[in-house]
């Protein structure tokens, strides 16, 4: 592993996670533990030998741990160590900084519904310690995007999302492409494409109250 050779905590952190693809591997493992094949599928464009190299380096650094899952999985499963999970906050803050860059739309880029789990972490900051329970609308939302289903739960503890099964019951259903769903969740009210949202009147009221508090993907020049 190459090193910047600097006695600096940022420099030494980048020695571990600064290589190309490394932080995206960490992003996938923040979404949830994954098999090698799942990681390779979720990271279009990464070469198999490069993924293996990045995982090996992260294991050696103590960021990632690998275990052999029993049947019916019968595969090596990668997950973040406790120290590795400490990367969530800085990576979410970096993603939050990059939210305005999403205003350009998908273009020719790859998209995955599961990546919205991380987008949700960036769009909805953790509630402040002084925030009242009533400030956060309580609602459960199933998101169907690009072949994946996610369950978003909003309650006084904050907003969180996880990959779930298709057809998971929820008060509100949001369906569309990742770009459309992102626009809807971010509270973007422009004329761009938005997701299809269904639910009863009260649930929809709480859902849109939640999205109005999200970090809108404004163009950089408007910031």
The predicted-structure confidence for 12-33, as pLDDT tens digits, reads as follows 999 999 999 999 999 999 999 9
The predicted-structure confidence for 144-158, as pLDDT tens digits, reads as follows 999 999 999 999 888
pLDDT band at residue 193 using 50, 70 and 90 as cut-offs: confident
Q: Which of 40, 34, 1, 38 is closest to 17 using CA atoms? A: 1
Distance, in Å, from the CA atom of 76 to the CA atom of 177, rounded to the nearest integer, reads 31
Q: What is the pLDDT of residue 130?
A: 47
pTM: 0.86
Could you tell me the sign of the dihedral formed by the alpha carbons of 61, 14, 92, 157, in that order? positive
Mean pLDDT calculated for residue range 21-46? 94
Phi, psi values for residue 153, rounded to 5°: -120, 125
């Amino acid at each position: 592993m190459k090193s910047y050779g600097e006695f600096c905590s940022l420099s030494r952190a980048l020695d571990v996670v600064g290589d190309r693809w490394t932080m995206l591997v960490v992003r996938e493992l923040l979404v949830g533990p994954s098999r090698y094949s799942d990681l390779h599928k979720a990271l279009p464009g990464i070469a198999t030998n490069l993924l293996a190299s990045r995982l090996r380096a992260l294991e050696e650094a103590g960021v990632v741990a690998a275990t052999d899952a029993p049947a019916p999985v019968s595969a090596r499963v990668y997950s973040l160590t406790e120290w590795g999970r400490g990367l969530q906050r800085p990576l979410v803050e970096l993603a939050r900084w990059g939210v305005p860059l999403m205003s350009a739309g998908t273009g020719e880029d790859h998209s995955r519904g599961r990546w919205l789990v991380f987008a949700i972490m960036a769009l909805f900051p953790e509630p402040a310690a002084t925030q009242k329970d009533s400030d956060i609308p309580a609602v459960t939302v199933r998101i169907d995007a690009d072949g994946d289903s996610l369950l978003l739960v909003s309650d006084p503890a904050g907003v969180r999302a996880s990959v779930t099964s298709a057809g998971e019951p929820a008060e509100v259903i949001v369906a569309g492409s990742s770009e459309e769903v992102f626009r809807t969740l971010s509270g973007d009210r422009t004329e761009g494409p938005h997701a299809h949202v269904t639910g009863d009147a009260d649930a929809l009221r709480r859902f849109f109250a939640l999205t109005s508090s999200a970090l809108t993907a404004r163009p950089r020049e408007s910031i």
